[in-house]
Structure 1
Amino acid sequence: MKPNATAWMDQLKRMTPRAKQYLLLLVLGSVFMGIVFGSVFLWENQTPMLPQAKVEQQTMRNIAAPGAHVDPRDVWMTQSSQQLRDMEATIDALRTKLNEVELHQQKDTPEQVSGFFGFKDRETEPEPVTETLPPPPIQALPQPYAMDTQSELLPPPIMGSEQKKPGIAVFEVSQVSVSNDPETASKNTTYIPSGSFMRSVLLGGLDAPTGGQAQNNPMPVLLRVQNDAFLPNQYRGKLKECFMIGSAYGDISSERAYSRLESLSCTLRNGKSIDIPVKGYIVGEDGKTGMRGRLVSKRGQAIANALMAGVLSGAGRGLQQSAMFIGASPLGAVGAIRGGTRQQFQAGIGAGIGRSLDRISNYYLNLADQMFPILEIDAGRVVEIVLTKGVEIDLGVAESTGFVPTVRNVPGRFANNG
């Protein structure tokens, strides 16, 4: 056996690579055909047992207890329909009882009310006739008849109450003394009607946000009143040097900051402070609602950074792909790194640069989404404040000279109006 095996090995070594492939293919084909024929032989031997097993299995399935073929869903639907019918019957019974109770209450209410107040309906029972005095010798005027007619419309007096006799009421007028106590002294209030306006100055600058939730979260604004308020009919209200607080937000389409007033605060000469809520808006120097500002947007820089990071990320991915090749195989396209350590190092650097710069690009894009344009408003701008709702100011003690924000008239056409 050894010389034959050695000869076979020598002959196999002398064969060409193509002859070796053919020999290997022949051996594998022979093995495959042997497996196929063996499987077919075994399958044919086991085929006659299959029908008997199926018949036995079917015979066992046919044996079942009574009621096994009832679908649980049908049972549930039957029970649910019965419950619904019971509920409908209960509701109908309750509705009938409720109607009976309401009808009974409607019948009993008039009698109970008449018994409670102590009188009955005059249409069903006439009033008792009272004794009348003999007529006077002089003919009576028609006025008593009118009074009697009017008295018939009034309800009868309640039993137990004393009727007041006619007479002359006497009132004593006394002079009320004025007290110097602030707690007992009369209060003085003044009213600033809607539509009144006043000139004010913006004490602090403003960066009004635009877009997003800017209207729900406005920025505060501090204003100082420079002149007295202009009231209707050429009246003036002394609100000079008072402070006002407002809230403002920006509108990117009109490039204006719109503000709403929230509170008014003043200090009287006697040291008392006033802080009341007000409603109004701000008019700019050009006579339009709102204040024009400078539109500032920083999204451009963030988008440019994202673009630069994206370009560099693509360059890193190209460096990674240059060190790899794609080969075809029976399983599909397969990528692998060509060459040795140098190409592997190049592919690793390219992959790291591409992934890191891709994340940086996404960061700048998210930052650009969160950045909204703003409107810059400088401090010291002179604006007009208009009240959209009248406000009543409590000035405390009514003294001749004890408060600043009082209403006074200005000589003019309407100066003498009451």
Structure 2
Amino acid sequence: MTYGFETLAIHAGQEPERRTGAVVPPIFQTSTYAQDAVGAPRLGYEYSRSGNPTRDALQECLAALEGGRRGLTFASGLAAEDTLLRTVCRPGDHVVIPDDAYGGSYRLFAKVLERWGLAYTPARISDPAAVRAAMTDRTRVIWVETPTNPLLGIADVAALAGVAHERDALLVVDNTFASPYLQQPLALGADVVVHSTTKYIGGHSDVVGGALVTTDRSLGDELAFHQNAMGAVNGPFDAWLTLRGVKTLGVRMDRHCDNAERVAEYLSRHPKVSQVLYPGLPDHPGHETAAKQMRRFGGMISFRAAGGEAAAVEVCDRARVFVLAESLGGIESLIEHPGRMTHASAAGSPLEVPADLVRLSVGIETVDDLLADLEQALG
């Protein structure tokens, strides 16, 4: 039987516990497991880095939500990225990345993996021809965010899957901004989906984590081997918190989108805003592609302050309902200055973000309160 998204979010991987019938998966807060005999662990559990029932429940749930065959969870989104790249790449290989990639991902490529021998080239991922031109004979991965962080660029996942597979490369899609509720890249041809589960999947700004999902069983087995060998797994309590958050992902995302649409419309008419970056606006260059591959347009908005960097910083400092903080995807609204905060690591690089940029993570508060806060913050 085929189930809907919300049903899977509540039930996939979460059967009532066998011994007591508890309807919520327990927190298996243990480091090791008794074995029935030498080399005969019960249900295959030996040590919690290698396997934990609470983490397994989350992994199974996320695989179901993304339409994948194997889900793996990690201590953070960057831990998931690092494990993936060291699994599928070798020193001397090459990766194409977005020319406005998340600052933490850029730092991983530029400051860590490049020293390990992995080359990278930034490209405009909204243009498949530009991505194709950036590839080399050693390109192993096309790395995509859609929408991108923080400029909200949109990539055509199906088109880029074709570009990647022409050259026997993998298409990896960071689906953090959209969440599996709004977009399912595997169904569009992607090979691996990456999440910072800290964001919309966890949804409450109280737990850090990451995930990988793939439809390829062989690749899933390789990733599972490296997950255990490299050891950057999430603990059982973190897995439980994330699993609790994912149950309400669908209803939360609907409210995030409702509020973001109102906020984007308001900002697009404000005289102190020079540009609004939101794929739900008809004049966004990626609007048609986003409408084709996304259920709705998400809760993230960036805008450029008409008064330049000083005005952008002042808006961030003056906001009250929008909390000045890094991260995104929680139930509370957040505001930040990417150039000085989340994307400071890209300063001076080809990925440097505009100094007048402000990024909003629109929460699920009463939308009139959010609009009033922006009105006073914009002054």
Task: Give the TM-score normalised by structure 1.
Answer: 0.14
Instruction: Output the TM-score relative to the length of structure 2.
Output: 0.15
Q: Which has the higher strand share?
A: 1
- Which protein shows a greater Rg? 1
